Chains A and B, each alone.
Chain A
């Protein structure tokens, strides 16, 4: 209550200051008169009474001041006064104001933009109720030739984990699946998920319209049902509430729409639009062969991550005893959902934050430098204030308020810059940062921006303010005795320049390492030739393609159609093209070699291809032959392996003619004979070394994962030119199949380097900024020092010094600062660049080439920055200089 009253009275007196002051003055006046009257009454003579009153009056003026300054609003008022004064000062020197506000805005804008990314990716809660209780559950595989603690679980493990754990409220599984949607207009493919019954209950998300799945629907062969995203509902069904109960054709099957999800919902992928039940068959439910499910769970209330992990370890050990062949050594790994989504990008993001914070520090150093230069100009003004009785604290406060004003202006413009750059950042980050679509300037981000602005204001304002309020008043007022204060100021400024150069060096080193790394990546031998390749995705699914022979005929026919297109040399299909972060793995057993122990079957990546795939990709066939269309279920089962597999499993032997068997001794799988060896290809990403991989011919691969998705076409000219004729070629075989992801292989490669490119681009920007600021810093200090030494230089010239000597004198002064900065930066870089080791490829974090090149670059830039003031120094006219002052 009384606080509120205090606020109200305070605000009243702030806005009606005149009236409140008059009232106080009147009250004090009355008091004074009463004192005088009392004195007279006591019989003091008129003169003495007057003297007493005058004495009292002195103390009354003080009383007025004391009463006024005890009010909180007086603090506010002084601030407003200072701001007002500060604004006037800034208006008087628009050049300084513009440079300071602009550099600040760049620093703050960059920090705000990066923080909005960090906030969204690392800090902001995931958009699900109590999302911090959600965890992913993985298999931890410690096989001798394959270690992975984030392996997607097999359905058998998922079933047993769900049944035997006591720490999760709910556990659910999903598997990414795209659907060919047909019925109206051109066929489209929509991304979606096949999900277990507990999927939505685990997320605690319900349908906005209709319902989500009931457990009975998560069974094989039960009626086909689907729920859709709000976005799909609006775009394809015009937000019609009568959509419930309607049929939608997915992969030629009719699905009944039972629900529409709330706006903005997506899980796990942002582009998911459809969800259908997983419907595992009883055999699949207990299968431990294929590991293809993503499993997540919600922790029971009160259960910690460690407790859950401990209990799941017990469950996993129990399963390992029950099923040694598949589960020996297999542990369960619990990863918080947020960590799963953002963990991989955290180190790089934190390095970016560090870099951009360094840039802000450089900005601060630069502005402090400018302020110090101005402190010299305002020296007289401040000395006069001090002489007239302003307290030093008061002067410091005034100067700090001016810095805060600069900081706030910088903040405003910086937020605008951040707002504009976020659009670009979204595009840049879309394919390599999670939740990029959520980047925005939300409350916390703006608060952060304000906080760093004020902190920056304090950082760059403190030293100049104290510097200005220092010094003896008497000295200051005597003209011509400025040198001592100026010399100390120059020392501070030189220190700032050294610091700035060192910080700039750090940022530029970071950018340099990324450049080197990117150049390495561009030169990585991928093992195939991306130039002249077109790729797209067509997935034959539906009743027509249930049988292997139907699929094989489809692939063969479409490939013939594609080959008939003008400008096409060859075409092929594959499960996943390289560089798309997709890969599958299978257990196998080599004929005549027993596994070293239960569950110790070797594991290798695999892919399924049509004939001519290697030829189309320009992957050299090192030995043996390619697959033929004549390899069929009736002929000998065959396989092609890559060089890495040959070297790893048949070292010093000829693998041709050797036989192996998938999944240990499962009799459904025949022995396969190796008929060829191809060169290694970087399948997963440009940065991951080729690993052993086996290729199977499409015509012999009858299992459900034997559906090829990606197509490659080798063209004679620019692959883009045939892009428009591809859909017609596909549709001439089946007009119901959507053709998507049409890209050149060069684009695929470019996308695969998106995160490196983003890091490089951002770092490059920061480095450019840092370099420019450091240059301005060096230039500013030298120009200042030259102006100050005009007389000295004049004397030197008058005494016969050559202009060359003067040039050398000034440049060497600047270079001393720059080299000190570079040296400091070198130490810092040796200590810090190892934080970047996860972001760079093929270069050491203390790469000598980069270090030397960056040091040289900074040296050259510093010389350039020194040259202009040095030239000015040589033009000093000795006569003018000696008359100076």
Chain B
């Protein structure tokens, strides 16, 4: 493995999961695969932190789960964003953009 997968910036995992689910509802494994793909292998989630985050988001009412058959006809719990989750994602995306731009400006200053 050339590049060691990076640790996520504290607090961003929730945002990434919300983003993933905003595209399309999916199950836990789907989330981890998609995050890995979209980040081109930079972020790899272990099952512990993934399901801990899922439980947290569920309890906060940001996502909600439903048992459904997968394409391989297996039962899996599919998660989808709630309205509240969508609002949170929008807020966090905007905030993230603002902060990233600001950090970028600071780092680029000579």
Chain A residues at the B interface, C-beta cutoff of 8 Å: 1-2, 5-6, 9, 23-24, 26-28, 30-31, 33-35, 37-38, 56, 59-60, 62-63, 66-67, 70-71
Chain B residues near A63 (CB-CB < 8 A): 46-48, 50-52
Identify which of residues 51-93 in chain B touch chain A, using a CB-to-CB cut-off of 8 Å: 51-52, 55-56, 58-61, 70, 72, 74-77
Chain A: minimal CB distance from B81 (Å): 15
CA distance A470 to B75 in the complex (A): 48
Partner of B47, one of A1, A6, A31, A70: A31
Taking the closest CB of chain B, its distance from the CB of A26, in whole angstroms, is 7
Which residues of B sit under 8 angstroms from A6, Cβ to Cβ?
Answer: 59-60
Q: How far is the CB of B58 from chain A (nearest CB, A)?
A: 8
**Whole-angstrom distance between the Cβ of A225 and the nearest chain B Cβ:** 67
Is there contact, CB below 8 Å, between A9 and B29?
no
Q: Which one of B48, B59, B60, B75 lies within 8 Å of A59 (CB-CB)? A: B48
* Candidates A2, A26, A31; contact of B29 at CB < 8 Å: A31
- Assess whether B51 is in contact with A56, with CB atoms less than 8 Å apart: no
Q: Which of B47, B55, B70 has the most CB of A within 10 A?
A: B47
Which of A33, A34, A56 has the most chain B CB atoms inside 10 A of its CB?
A34
A37 contacts which chain B residues (CB < 8 A)?
A: 72
Are A35 and B55 in contact, with the CB atoms below 8 A? Answer: no
CB distance A28 to B61 under 8 Å? no
Chain B: CB-nearest residue to A68: B55
Contact of B59 with A27 in the complex, beta carbons under 8 Å: no
Query: Which residues on B sit within 8 Å (CB–CB) of A67?
Result: 48, 51-52, 55
Using a CB–CB distance below 8 Å, which chain B residues touch chain A?
A: 27-29, 33, 46-52, 55-56, 58-61, 70, 72, 74-77
Chain B CB count within 10 A is highest, among A35, A37, A63, for A63
SS of B interface (majority): helix
User: Complex formed: what's the CA distance from A26 to B29 in Å?
Assistant: 13
Residues of A within 8 A of B76 (CB): 27, 30-31, 34
Q: Separation in Å of the A335 CB from the closest CB of chain B?
A: 57
In the docked arrangement, what's the CA distance between A28 and B76, Å?
9
Residues from chain B with Cβ under 8 Å of A60 in the complex = 47
6 smallest beta-carbon distances between A and B, as pairs? A63-B48, A34-B29, A63-B47, A66-B48, A30-B76, A31-B29
Q: Give Cα distance in the complex from A231 to B32, angstroms.
A: 77
Chain B residues whose CB sits within 8 angstroms of the CB of A33 once the complex forms = 74
**A5-B60, A67-B51 given; 9 more Cβ-contact pairs under 8 Å:** A2-B59, A28-B51, A30-B28, A30-B74, A30-B76, A34-B70, A63-B48, A67-B48, A71-B55
With A and B bound together, what is the CA distance between A59 and B56 in angstroms?
19
Give chain B nearest CB distance to A776 CB in angstroms.
50
A-B contact pairs, 28 of them (CB 8 A): A1-B61, A2-B60, A2-B61, A5-B60, A5-B61, A9-B58, A9-B59, A24-B51, A26-B75, A27-B51, A28-B47, A28-B51, A30-B70, A30-B74, A31-B28, A34-B27, A34-B70, A34-B76, A35-B29, A59-B46, A63-B46, A63-B47, A63-B50, A63-B51, A67-B51, A67-B55, A70-B52, A70-B55
Q: Give the distance in Å from the alpha carbon of A66 to the alpha carbon of B50 in the complex.
A: 11
Min Cβ gap A694→B in Å is: 85
B70 to chain A, nearest CB (A): 8
Q: How far is B77's CA from A515's CA once the two chains are assembled, in angstroms?
A: 77
**Who on chain B is nearest to A65 by CB?**
B48
Nearest A residue to B77 via CB reads A27
In the complex the two chains form, is A59's CB within 8 Å of B27's CB?
no
B20 to chain A, nearest CB (A): 15
Q: Closest Cβ of chain A: how far from B11's Cβ, in Å?
A: 16
Distance in Å from the Cβ of A191 to the closest Cβ of chain B? 64
CA distance A124 to B38 in the complex (A): 66
Assuming the A-B contacts A30-B27, A30-B29, are A66 and B52 also in contact, with contact meaning beta carbons closer than 8 angstroms in the complex? yes
Most buried by B among A28, A30, A38, A56: A30
Find out whether the CB atom of B28 lies under 8 angstroms from the CB atom of A27.
Answer: yes
B52 to chain A, nearest CB (A): 5
Q: Would you give the shortest CB distance from B37 to chain A, in whole angstroms?
A: 12
CB closest chain-A residue, reference B84: A2
Q: Which residues of B contact A59 (CB under 8 A)?
A: 46-48
Docked pose: A544 CA to B21 CA in angstroms: 101
A425 to chain B, nearest CB (A): 50
Shortest distance between the CB of B90 and any CB in chain A (Å): 18
Please tell me if the beta carbons of B47 and A5 are within 8 angstroms of each other in the complex: no
A66 to B74, alpha carbons, bound, how many Å?
25
Q: How far is the CA of A627 from the CA of B41 in the complex (A)?
A: 117
Identity of the chain A residue whose Cβ is nearest the Cβ of B27 in the assembled complex = A30
Identity of the chain B residue whose Cβ is nearest the Cβ of A72 in the assembled complex: B59
**Could you tell me the distance in whole angstroms from the C-beta of B86 to the nearest C-beta in chain A?**
15
B77 neighbours in A (Cβ, 8 Å):
23, 26-27, 30
Q: Which residues of A contact B74 (CB under 8 A)?
A: 30, 33-34
A2 to B29, CA, bound (A): 26
> How many angstroms from the CA of A26 to the CA of B70 in the assembled complex?
14
From A5, which residue of chain B is reached at the shortest CB distance?
B61
**B-chain residues with CB within 8 Å of residue A62 when the two chains form the complex:** 48
CB A342 to nearest CB in B, in angstroms, measures: 51
How far, in Å, is A74 (CB) from chain B's closest CB?
Answer: 11
B8 to chain A, nearest CB (A): 16
A66→B47 CA distance, assembly (Å): 10
- Residues of the B chain whose Cβ atoms lie less than 8 Å from the Cβ of A2: 59-61
Docked Cα-Cα span, A851 to B76, in Å, equals 80
In the complex, residue of chain A having the shortest beta-carbon distance to the beta carbon of B56 = A70
Interface contact A30-B75, CB-CB below 8 Å: yes
Query: In the complex, what distance in Å separates the CA atom of A35 from the CA atom of B29?
Result: 8
Rounded to whole angstroms, the CA-CA distance of A26 and B68 in the bound complex is 13
Closest B residue, CB atoms, query A30: B76
**Once bound together, how far apart are the Cα atoms of A1 and B83, in whole Å?**
15
Bound complex: CA of A527 vs CA of B12, how far in Å? 90
Q: Report the nearest B residue to A33, measured CB to CB.
A: B74
A-side contacts of B29, CB under 8 Å: 30-31, 34-35
Chain B residues with CB under 8 Å of A24's CB are 51
CA distance A56 to B49 in the complex (A): 13
Expressed in whole angstroms, the Cα–Cα distance for A2 and B57 within the complex equals 11
A-side contacts of B52, CB under 8 Å = 63, 66-67, 70
Q: Cβ of A56 and Cβ of B75 under 8 Å apart?
A: no
Q: In whole angstroms, how far apart are the Cα atoms of A34 and B47 in the complex?
A: 12
A1 contacts across to B, CB distance below 8 A: 61
Nearest B-chain residue to A56, judged by Cβ: B47
A69 → B minimal CB distance (Å): 10
Q: Which residues of B contact A28 (CB under 8 A)?
A: 47, 51
Instruction: State in angstroms the CA–CA spacing of A2 and B49 once bound together.
Output: 21
Q: Report the minimum CB–CB distance from A138 to chain B (whole Å).
A: 63
The answer for the CA separation of A755 and B44 in the assembled complex, in Å, is 77
Contacts of A34 in B (CB 8 A): 27, 29, 70, 74, 76
Chain B residue with minimal CB distance to A35? B29
Bound-state Cα–Cα, A70 to B74, Å = 28
Cβ distance B27 to chain A, nearest Cβ, rounded Å = 7
The residues of B that contact A26 with a CB separation of less than 8 Å are 75, 77
Which residue, B28, B55, B61, has most C-beta atoms of chain A within 10 A? B55
- For A66, the chain B residues whose CB sits under 8 A away are 48-49, 51-52
Question: Residue on A with the closest CB to B29?
Answer: A34
Give bound CA distance, A750 to B72, whole Å. 94
Task: Please indicate the chain A residues that have their CB under 8 angstroms from the CB of B58 in the complex.
Answer: 9
Contacts of B27 in A (CB 8 A): 27, 30-31, 34
**C-alpha spacing A2/B85, complex, angstroms:** 12
| Least distance between B69 CB and chain A CB atoms (Å) | 11
Give chain A residues whose Cβ lies under 8 Å from the Cβ of B28. 27, 30-31
Contacts of A35 in B (CB 8 A): 29
Q: How far is the CA of A9 from the CA of B57 in the complex (A)?
A: 13
From A62, which residue of chain B is reached at the shortest CB distance? B48
Most buried by A among B58, B59, B75: B59
Q: How long is the Cα–Cα vector from A60 to B56 in the complex, in angstroms? A: 18
Instruction: Give the chain A neighbours of B75 by CB distance below 8 A.
Output: 26, 30
Measured between beta carbons, the chain A residues less than 8 angstroms from B70 are: 30, 34
Report the separation of the CA atoms of residues A59 and B50 in the bound assembly, to the nearest whole angstrom.
12
| Set of chain A residues within 8 Å of B55, measured between Cβ atoms | 67, 70-71
Closest Cβ neighbor of A57 among chain B residues: B47
Complex Cα–Cα for A167 and B27 (A): 74
